Structure formats: structure tokens, C-alpha cells
Structure 1
Amino acid sequence: MTLLTAERTEAPARRRRWSPRTRELVLLTLGSLALAVVMTWPTLADPWRTIPGDLTDPLFSAWEIGWYGHAVLHRPGGLFDANIYWPLPRTGVFSDTLLGLAPLGIGVSGMADTLFRYNVAYVLAAAFNFAGAYLLARQLGCGRIGAAVAGAAFAYTPWRISHAIHLNILMSGAIPLSIALLLRGHGIGRGPWDPARGRPWAAFAGWALAAWQVSLGFAIGLPFVYVLMVLGVAAVIAWLIVQRPRIPRRIVLADLAGGALFAGVTLSLASVFMRVAKDHPEVAATRTAQVLEYFSPPWRGLWAAPEHSLVWGRLTAGARAGIEWPIEATLLPGLIVVLAGLLGLVVTIWSRATRIWLAVAVVASVVAALGTTFAEGKMTWLPARELLPGVEALRTSGRLIMYAVLVLGLLAAGAITRLARHRRLRPFLLAVPLLVCAEGLSTVPHPEVPPPPAALAHAKGPVLILPAYKQDSLSLIWSTDGFRPQVNGYASFTPGMISEVVRITESFPSSLSIDYLRRMGVREVIIDRRRAQGTVFEPAAERPVRGLPVERRDLGDSVLYRLL
């Protein structure tokens, strides 16, 4: 009898561990990952040799993941003093930082391993985006099918295909998920606001996740900071309107701790970026109103899709024609989510007031995304650049279309949830998230990354690879085998030092260039014959060095020079 009783009590315990919410989270995790593998294919077909997009920004992001993982273990006190653009300091923040992805880079060893870590991050970004928007919709009271529409819209909008080369833009799932956690932490969603239903752990986790999003760079992080400020003000106003319900002390403490963490991360990273901007006047040239105007999308960008969109690429080629920088100016959210979002203004679970605010949010996001195209920016970006700290550093307004897509997804989720109450419609409604995903199918290329020149295996650094380019992403991915110091680099601006190096080393191996590099502290110079073809370095690789203070070693595809 005792054994039988024990078995009967254990069975309900097992059932309680697998509650409906737990099962949903498990299925969401597995489903998001499986969908991401399919939607980003062939990213994981050969992840040790290829990379999605091209051989520019993706290689830089891959190097960042590897560098921060390496620095966490080996140089925790010099996280931002990276091995590139040697000997300049804080070169790790010459562009947006992917510090938050450092765990993925721990233990990285060489180019193939680094590419694998990046490709995994690329797939995880899509899964995270889907899951984050899904959970936000669920927290606000949407059904599973409606939430799937919101997740699919946020993760696989045609707009995201433009940014296949920008992992810092793709990895934005923490935005909706942190908002969902903050709402849950304060008892908001799935019914009337009731602080007693709040969860302190969720409130703190929301702030922590928001801080993590900021650690992936200010291109997405800074607008998110201001979005959280707007939501905070809205929450205070709502709290006053509903007669100031008592907030449990534990939630207040969680907010204080989480808010302090969020502010600390944001201000700490901002201070490093400000120091770089102060030390390098070249940064100012990338932050002018003229640069913002150049990157501001035209109106037709709202219905233009990137060329690699499988569904919309050719169909919107006319709208895309003439756009100088289509990566930042093709903003098509997707036809299905727009139509479902418009339906959500009429048939929905949202109240009239909620619908109005969601519609206002969509319009505001679109206006912000247009940059100086809307009213020449006189009512939006230009005053914001003067009044709001850090906004002058933002030059790519089109990325703010992300918030319009997120809110359109929530409007669509409200409509689908309302329609799903009719059981006969549910089988047909399941096709909606699939159609949204179909619009996100792409033909993004996955080029193979060239292997490093043989001479690099014999270099200890500091090293300069010739031909020298002001922006050299290949040299970064090659440096992940030990992260030896190198003069070559890649960033969002061109440091004056590298411009001078490029100019002087065009005569290498001459006495002038050798003396210049020796004074810098460079120990080795490599001429990569593959990239030297057709340049002044093609004959230079064969030039004799008798009488010069160097040792020359021919290694087939490259030549290694040791400066004496």
C-alpha cells in the first residue's frame, strides 16, 4: 500500500513539472531552432568554410565574437584593446561591439572554428527573434497562432534580408523578449493590470536582457534605450490613471537593481565610445547630417525589398532602382503582415485605445525610419540630434523600421487570435505564419572564405599584411589563430594611422617603408601574392632585399619579411 501510494503521488508531481506553459516553452524553443535552420539554409551546410552575405562585415562580426571570447579568458582587463590597428588603443570599439556574444567565442581556435561560431550565432539570431516576438504577443494575451504570426513577422520580414551582413542588427530578439519580461514582472498583460501578479525575477531579467541587447552595439541599442524610456513614461502615466495601485516592495527592489545594471552597462559602454570619438577626429566625418541624409531611405523604399528576397526581389526591382544604398533603404515589412495588421485595426482582441496606440507606434516608427526624407528631418531627426544624447552618432535611420514590423506583428496577432476563436477557421489560420515565413525566404550568398597565407603561420606579430587596405576584413578572420597584433584592421571609420601606413608601404620593401615600420614596432611584413596580383606589390614580392635590414622567406603563396 505504501509503494502504491508513493507511485500515485509521484505521477501528479511529474505532470505538474510539465505544465502547459512549460510544454509551450519547450516546443517554442525546438520549433524556433528548427525553423531558423530551414530559413537560414545553407548557413549550416558548411559552417567551417562559408559565411552568409559577403566577405566584409560578416567577417568583422565573426572576428569580434572570437576576440571577445579570447579576451574574456586571456585579457579581461583589456577587452577593448583588440589586436587590430596595432598599436592604437581601444580598437575593439572602432565599430559596434558584439561584447554580449563573448560566450560564443570562448576557446575559439583559428578561422574555421571562428566561422562555425559565427554561423551558429547567425542561426540563433533568427530563432531568438521569432521566440522573443512570440512571447511578447503571448504576454499581451494573444493566442498561439497569432503569436506565431508576430514571431514570424519579426524574425523573417523581407527587410531583414538586407541586413544579412549585419549580425548586430539581426540579433535583436532581446528587444521584444525584455519588454515581455518587464510586463510580466509588473503584472501587465493577460488581463487587467494587477501588480500583485507581478514577478520580481521577471522584472530583473527584463532589465538584464535589455542591458545585454545594448552590449551588442548602439546602432540598435541606443534607439532601444529611448524606446524603454518612452514605455517607462507611458507606464507611469497608466499607473496614475488606474489610481496608483500599490507596487509590491520586491518588484520595486528588482526594478532598482535591474535598472542600475542596465544604466551601468549603457553608460560604461558609452564612455568608451565617447573616448574613441574624442581621440579620433575622423569619427566626426561619419556623423554629419549629410551622412544621415545619404542613408535615409526614399518613400519607395517602404515597398522595395532587397535583391536577395526570393519572393519580392525581382518584383520590387523597379522600386529599388536608383537607391544608392539599398542595404539601408529597402524596408518592405512583408505583404501578409501588413494586410493582417490592417485587419487587426478592425477585427481584433485589442481595445480601441490599444489599437490607436499601436497604429500611432507604426506611423512613428515609419517616420523615424525615413530619416531626413520625411519633412527633411526638421521635425524628427535634426532636432533629436541636438537634444538627445548620442543620436548624432546614428546615421542609418532605416533600421528603425524594426519597430514598425514588431507592432504590425502584434496587430496581426490580435486579428488572428480573434478569428481563431472560430474553430472552423483555425486550420486555415495556421497558413498565415507559414506565408509570413515564405516572404522571408532568401537567396543570400554564402561565399567560401579564402584561407590565410602560409606566411601567417610563421608570424608572431606585430605584423603588417600587404597589400594594406584601409578596411581589411580578411586579415581579421585570419588573425583568430592566436590573435597576434596586426596593423591591418576593419572599422566603421578609417583611422588616420592606417591611411598613412597604406601610403608609405606602397614602396615596400624600400628603406623608407622599412624604417617607418620599424619605428612603429612592426616585426614582420607579409606580402600575400594572391591579393597582390595586379597591384604594385606583385613585382615587389620578387624584389631583392640585399643591403636592407630585413630577412626574406618565400613560402609559395606569400612572402615573409622579418624586420631586423
Structure 2
Amino acid sequence: MAFLFFLLAAVAFTWPVVLRLHRAVPVDTGDPLLNAWIISWGSRTLFTAPTRLFQANIMYPARDVLAFSEHLFTMVVLTAPLYWVSGNPLLSYNLLLIGGLAFSGFGCYLLVRELTGSRWAALVGGFLFALGSYKFSQLSHLQIMFSPFLPFMLLYLLRYLEGGRKKDLLLFALFCLAQSLSSWHYLVFCFLAAGLLWLWRAAASRGGEEWRRLAGVLLALGAVLLVALPLALPYLRAHGRLPGFERNLTEIKGFSAHPADYLTALRGNLLYSRVSSLLPHGEIGEERVLFPGLAAFLLALLAVAGWARGRKRAPADPFRRGLPLFFLLLAAVSFLLTMGPEVAGRWNPLYMIPYHLGMLRFIRVPARFYVLFLLALAVLAGYGTAWALSRVGGRGGRFPAYRAWGAVLLALVALENVNLPVPMVEVPHGGGIPQAYRWLEKEEAVIIELPTLGLGEEHRYDRLLDFLPRDPHAYSELEGLRVYFSAYHRKRTVNGYSGYFPYSYNRIFYEMEAFPSLRCVELLQGLGVTHVVWHWDLVPPEREGEYRRRLLSTPGLRLAADLGGQWILEVEEGGVSRPDDLELEALVPEVVRPGEPFNLGLVVRNPTPLPTVVTEEEPQGFRLVITDGEGETVEEERGSFRPPFFLQAGEGAVLPLRCRKAPGKEGYYRLDLHLEEGIFGERRFSFTLGVREMPVSEEPSLLEGRVEYAGTAGVVRIPAPDGLFPLDFRVTAGGDTYLLAARESREEEIARPRGLVHLALRFEKEGPVWEEQRGTLPCDLPPGQSVLLPTLVRPPDTPGRYKLFVGLTDEGFRWFGEVLVL
């Protein structure tokens, strides 16, 4: 009966999800459809081609794409039979949503009943954990909402620690495994909760039998990690080869909770939306809507007060007697972890120590530790309810007053957590999906869907690109739909949406802003893309004629199907050159500062008449050896660089390298650069390297410089608006100051921009009309040195005649030196 209660409550409190199980998703088409796609992809591949599980069909040509998000393995296993029968990702998703809430409540009910012996207390605790407002703020994040096995894990761990039955140990391990494999967040949550309970029990253990049980728990947790390891390997591979794969502290701080967030209510809440002047409000999908309701807090306080007053009458077992304090500790630890790297502006060791040990580097949102806080609060509220009801009647619930007050407390908790109706978005399914995807089902194809929604200002396009849509929410909804439709056509697609965007994805779509330019077509040919799905509903009406002419006249494109709202364009095969055809030139500063790191670079150029596309993601290795005049090695180190991605005929690009330490004494040295086996094969370069003291651009003495256009005329003709276009400039350092090209990492450059010298570009037509852009110097420049700088610029999105101003800028100061006008 208890499970039926929670099932009906889950249906009621998620209304009207149950009416649209097969044809809609809650909130929006971003994360919900991404998770629906993950479930469908896993269901289709897990039992037919398990080795291909992580090689998903989106974000082509990236590898291990499923590792860019949560794998949802447990959910895949649970719903695979349903998906094979129905073929409907939406049905699987919505049943997991409702079923996960129902089992979360039932599991917490059993846990609280085990601890208090009160059914009413168990109903209150179970309701609060399963259907608290926080869960509804996470409606678009199934990987966080789905917590059914967490309370079961604690229940059987408690039973094993108290009774020592092997059956309970086995059930603890199974529930821990099931919850841990639902998402990596829950692996951390499970091990944190189980670890704290283990320590709590160890602190009160005296006999050998108790220590044997504790050893059994460690063995069970070790077994869980061993089983989870194969699923972790793709994430570790991606972490090893992809820049920015782990979460940096700047990003994490933006998603950390603040104490005031524990008073932030959901805007759609039936009760608290009516007292908007008293509490701040947040929307569904926001991460810091953490107010559990006044009743939950008050009942938890009653639990602590009841424990303090009833210690003498509590169970004789000190472990059982102290369990309310354990859940208070779990709540406190979870609270501090939600705060992230800092608590009230002070360093948070509870978060930062495991972060620096690598245990939390994959978690972007510390506020999600609130799941454990909510579980602890629910159990404490159950204790508080049991204590309050014991004041009015027996614990067995035989007296009318006991039942009445139990119903009142349950009703109060429920009233504070009514967030209805759940917003739903209708999604095409089955035979109702757009005709273009039905057409693709019959073809052997690699596709890209265009146009995308507009991309924002990145400013630097010649280094690692961040991905910045002008409207991130709208972009995620559009790409979420395209990911979802790929569950039907099942073709490899360049499009995608996930928790991580690889460089190849970012670069392709910034390039595609100029589609259908010849440069875009050559890139698609080099990638092996065979078809473009063109969506006319995303083209401004005033530009439809222009795009029709360009799509039908661009070499390399052929109209394969006119489906009304969509065109399908076939990309004709085109030749590409190989990476070992590329020319390489190493650029090193002629003079560097003693004992300091310095930047050098490789300029790679495509001398062939064909484009080059390199999809290799593995870092390429190099070795630097610095020797003195007597041939003695002064410094030797290894590093890596990222291969180039796309070069048209004649185009060049800079591949940055870094030496961590120059020789400490002034003088002249020999620097040898060895490229080890990789896409370029083995290559060697040798230079004379001077070392002496000089002012640096962080604290400049005299900043001077000159930029010259390396083309043949003062007019630059760019064949298509927007997108990316290569230009070459020659940069000469003047004055007496050493110009810094880069810092060790992108994060450090963001944190310490002062002193970095970049090429600066600005398009103008009667004033600035486009973003001010930056180009990265190929190496640090001492006074007097001149280098050729190939860079990528993003032209304005409207055709016309513009002035292009080009100069040098010190990010901490201003433009300096002579300014070139094209």
C-alpha cells in the first residue's frame, strides 16, 4: 500500500505527465531530449554492439561522445525491453521520471520506518525526499531526479552493520551499484553517504565482529568500483586527450550554492509563489532553488530536540541511539559541499581537498550535493514527526489523535511542495517526425543540419574555441530536437548537444556560419559529410532568395530532395591532402628571459591544391633540449600540442608550444625541438637561443610594434559573410619590451590577462560594427624580432565594404604601435 501511495503521489504531483507519456517531455526540448536520446542509444547498442556504446552517432567526428554527458546505464538497462517493443524514447523517459520518484519515496519510507517504527513518519520522510520542490526544480535533469536506490542502499547498509546478515550486505552492494551506475554524480553521493556511515559505525565499534562487518562493507564498495570501472574508461580516455574536459574552478563557482539559496523557492510553487515578497524565487532548471519548506526545517529541529530530551529512553545500542546525529552530520557535510570551493568567501577544504585529488573535477554543479542534504533532511523530518506524534498517542498508530496529527503533518509537507501543473512540450514521435528524417533512414549518410541559431562573439578563433550561442537556451532546445530525431534516422551527425563541446564541434559550426561558401563545402568534404539537411524555417524571409541562389549554385552541392520546409543537399565527394603533406616551420623567440617559461610555436601550412582535414584528437608529443656552449644539457622537457583541424590550399595555422623554464644564466644556448611520432612523423628543428634580462609586457617599459598585411594588395576580398576566413600578417616587435604571447592554460589567461600581447582586429563601417577580435602570436617576441602570423578572422554577417583595423594590443593596457588599415 505504501508503494501505491507514492506511485499515485508521483502521478499527481507530476500532472499532466501521465497523460502525455508517449508524446511530450517536461519543461523544454534541451536536456530532457538529450537524456531521452541517451536512453534510446544505450537501449539499442548495449545488447547488440556493447563495444560501440560510447561511440554515439552525434557530434561527428568526435570519439567517445557518450562520455561528454552521463551514461545513464541503470536507466538504460531498466527501460531497454520497453524501448525495443515501443521504439519510443519519450515513453521510456517519462516512465523513468514517474517510476524514479515513486521508488525514491518508497525507499525513503522503508528507511524512516526502520529507524522510527512510525508509518506516518515514514510517509512524511518519503514524501519529502521524493517530491520535494528541489526535485521539481530539476525536472529537466533526469540524471539528478532519478534517486530510487539511494535510500535502499542506506537501509540495507544499516541492517548489515547492525545484524551482520550477508543477504543485507549483498542488497546494499546491489543498490549501491544500481544507483552509482545511473550517473557519476550518484556514485559520489553513494560513496559519500556510505563512507560517512562507515566512519560513524567505526567510531562506535568495539568487538571483532563489528570490524569484520566494516571490512565487508569496504569489500562491497570495492566490488562496486570494479564493476563501474569499464564505464569509467571512456571518460578517462576523453579526459586524457581533450582540452577543458574537466571542470575549472571559475565555472564551478558559478554553480555553487549560497546560504540564501536555501530560502529560494520554486516560482511555480502553489504556496510560496503567493508570498513572493517574503522569499526569492527561481525557475525550473535553475540549480540553486533549495528551499525545502518550513515544515521540513521545523520537523528536523524537532528531531534534534527530541533526541536531546529522549537520550535516556533511547535504545541501548549507542549506534542506533546516535543515528539522528549521523543524519544531522550528513546534512551538514552536504550543505558545505553545495557551497563549492568557498563558503562565505573563505576556502572550503571539504570541497577543495577532494577536488585537488581529482575526485570532484567532473562535477560542474556543487549545488547538486543538495540531493544528500534532502535525504538527510527527510530522515530527520521523519524522526521529528515520530517524536511529535509520540506526544499525542502510541507509536503503533492505533489512536485517532495519532492518525489525525500524522495526516496533518503529511498534508503540510505536501502542501509546501505542490508545483503544478508541470510544463510540457509536445514532441513529434513515431510516424509524426519530419519527413526529412524518414528520407534519411533509407540512405547511407553522414549528415549535418543547418542553419544553426546564431553564434555569439568568441573574439579568438585561432586557438581553442569556446562555444557561445547568442541564445544558449534556444540553441540547446534546437539541438536537443536534432539529437532526439537522430534516434529515428540513426545516422552519424555533426550536430549534437551535451555537457561538453569538443573543439571539432565548435570549429565546424563557427565555420558553418558562412554556409554555403566554398570553404564550408571543402570542410564538409574533408570530414566525409554526405548530406546537408537545410531548414528553411530558420532563414529570415528577406534572405530566402539569396540562400536559394547560393545553395543551387555553390560547387560541390546538389539538391537531392525538396521536402518543402527542408531541403536535403548532397555533398559531392572531394579530394583532400594528407597531414604528412603539410609544411612545418618552428618559430622560437630569439631571446628569452632567464629562468622564466616561454612560448614557441609551429606554423603549419598546406602547400597542396587540396584542403586538409585532421580529425585526430590525440595530443602530439614533442621534446625540447637546451644545451650550453659545451654541449651540456641545461634543460630537457616534454610536452604536447594539438594538431591542426582544417586548412584550405595555401592556408597556415599556428600550433602553440611552451617551454616551462629557460636557462637561468644569461648567454647563448642551442635549442633542439624534436617532434615525436604522430601525424607529422619525426621532425627536428635547431635554433640559437639567447638569454638576458629585459622588461616584459606585464610591466612594460616601452611598448612598440608594427603589423603588415602579408597579402598582395591593400584590399582583402572575403567571399562570404560570417564564418571564418584565414589572413596572414607580419608582426614586428619594437621598443625594449618582451611581448608575452600566452600563459600556461586558457583558465590562467582568463584569470590573468594583463600583459598578454595579441594581434587586434576590428571591422568598421561608420564606426565599429562587429566584435573586436584577437589573434595569438606564434611565439613570444623580444624587441626587434619579426614573425609571420597566420590567423583566422570572423567577418561581419552582412555583405558590404568595411575597413579592417589591425594592430597590437596589450590586454592590460591598450592598442599600441602602428595600426594597419585595410
Give the TM-score category using the shorter length.
0.7 to 0.9
Q: Which residue of 2 aligns with 1:155?
A: 130
Aligned mate of 2:47, from 63, 67, 73: 73
Please give the per-residue CA displacement for 1:338-373, whole angstroms capped at 9, x wherever unaligned: 111111122357747444333333233222222245
TM-score computed with the length of structure 2 as normaliser: 0.59
Percentage identity across paired residues of the two chains: 23
Measured at CA, do residues 158 and 325 of structure 1 come closer, stay the same or move farther in structure 2, by a change above 3 Å? closer
The letter for the 1-side match of 2:53 is L
- Answer yes or no: is 1:516 the counterpart of 2:523: yes
1:445 aligns with one of 423, 436, 444 = 423
SS across alignment from 1:344: helix
Amino acid corresponding to residue 146 of structure 2 in structure 1: M
1:91 matched to which residue of 2? 65
**What is the CA-CA distance between 1:210 and the residue it aligns to?**
1.1
Work out the CA distance in 2 between the residues paired with 1:98 and 1:163.
16
Contact 1:85–1:487 (Cα < 8 Å) also in 2: yes
Greater Rg over alpha carbons, structure: 2
Partner of 2:268: 308
CA contact (8 A) 1:293 1:372 kept: yes
Deviation at 1:44, TM superposition (A): 1.4
Q: Does 1:60 align with 2:68?
A: no
Note the alpha carbon deviations across 1:302-323, whole angstroms, 9 max, x for none. Answer: 11112232222353466436x8
Q: Distance between the aligned counterparts of 2:563 and 2:58, measured in 1?
A: 24
Q: Is the 2:82–2:92 contact (alpha carbons within 8 Å) kept by the matching residues of 1?
A: no
Q: Which deviates further from its counterpart, 323-332 or 177-186?
A: 323-332
Match for 1:342: what amino acid?
Answer: L
Of residues 415-424 and 113-122 in structure 1, the stretch that sits farther from structure 2 once superposed is 415-424
Structure 1 vs Structure 2 CA RMSD: 2.9
1:343 has 2:302 as partner = yes
Q: Residues 365 and 40 (structure 1 numbering): CA distance in 2 closer, same or farther, change over 3 Å?
A: same
Note if 1:230 corresponds to 2:196: yes
2:547 equivalent to 1:531? no
User: Per-residue deviation at 1:230?
Assistant: 2.3
Counterpart for residue 339 of structure 2: 370
Aligned residues: 522
1:280 is matched with 242
Give 3-state SS (helix, strand or coil) of 2:171's partner.
helix
Distance in 2 (CA, whole Å) between partners of 1:313 and 1:268 is 46
SS class of match (1:490)? coil
Q: Bigger shift: 363-372 or 473-482?
A: 363-372
Q: CA contact under 8 A between 2:202 and 2:214: conserved in structure 1?
A: no
Indicate if the aligned counterparts of 2:31 and 2:140 stay in contact, CA closer than 8 A: yes
Match of 2:510 among 503, 509, 516: 503
Instruction: Tell me which residue corresponds to 1:211.
Output: 177
Amino acid at match of 1:362: A
Q: Helix, strand or coil for the counterpart of 2:373?
A: helix
Q: Tell me whether 486-495 or 323-332 shows the greater mean CA deviation.
A: 323-332
CA distance 1:324–1:456, shift in 2 (3 Å): closer
Task: Tell me what 2:567 maps to.
Answer: 559
The letter for the 1-side match of 2:372 is Y
> 1:430-464 deviations in whole A, cap 9, x for unaligned?
22223212222213311222564321211243111
Deviations for 1:121-157, whole angstroms, at most 9, x for unmatched residues?
Answer: 1111211210121111122243111111110110111
Aligned CA distance change for structure 1 residues 411 and 363 (closer, same or farther; 3 Å): same
Q: 1:76-128 CA deviation, whole Å, 9 max, x = no partner?
A: 11111111111211101101221111131446379981111111111112112
State the AA in 2 paired with 1:94. F
- Higher mean C-alpha displacement, 83-92 vs 547-556: 547-556
- In structure 1, list runs of 5 or more residues that go unmatched: 1-26, 189-193
The 5-angstrom pairing of residues 329-408 of structure 1 reads: 329-347=288-306, 351=314, 353-372=322-341, 374-380=343-349, 383-408=352-377
Q: CA deviation at 1:475?
A: 0.7
Q: Distance in 1 between matches of 2:545 and 2:3?
A: 52
In the alignment, what sits opposite 1:431?
408
Q: TM (normalized to structure 1)?
A: 0.85
**Structure 2: 5+ residue stretches without partners:** 315-320, 394-398, 454-466, 468-475, 573-822
Q: Tell me the distance in 1 between the aligned counterparts of 2:46 and 2:138.
A: 28
Preserved contact between residue 342 and residue 348 of structure 2 (Cα < 8 Å): no
Instruction: Tell me whether 1:467 sits opposite 2:451 in the alignment.
Output: yes
Query: Equivalent residue for 2:17?
Result: 43
Describe the superposition over 1:396-448 as per-residue Cα deviations: whole angstroms up to 9, x where unpaired. 12122222222222222123223444022222212222321222221331122
Q: Structure 2 CA distance, aligned partners of 1:52 and 1:326?
A: 11
Whether the aligned pair in 2 keeps the contact of 1:150 and 1:410 (CA below 8 Å) is yes
Q: Deviations over 1:18-56 (max 9, x none)?
A: xxxxxxxxx222222121111111111122221112111
Structure with the higher fraction of residues in helix conformation: 1
Alignment match, 1:221: 187
Q: In structure 1, what residue type is equivalent to 2:358?
A: P
Q: Is the 8 A contact 2:266 2:289 kept in 1?
A: yes
Tell me if the contact between 1:97 and 1:216 (Cα under 8 Å) persists in the aligned partners: yes
- How far apart are the structure 2 equivalents of 1:454 and 1:222? 43
Shift of 1:330: 1.5
Distance 1:386 1:480, change over 3 A: closer
Output the CA distance in 1 between the equivalents of 2:346 and 2:230. Answer: 30
Could you tell which deviates more after superposition, 263-272 or 155-164? 263-272
**Structure 1 residues 370, 324: closer, same or farther in 2, change over 3 A?**
farther
1:63 Cα shift? 0.8
Contact 1:62 1:118 in 2 (8 A): yes
CA contact (8 A) 1:150 1:412 kept: yes
Deviates more, 1:379-388 or 1:490-499: 379-388
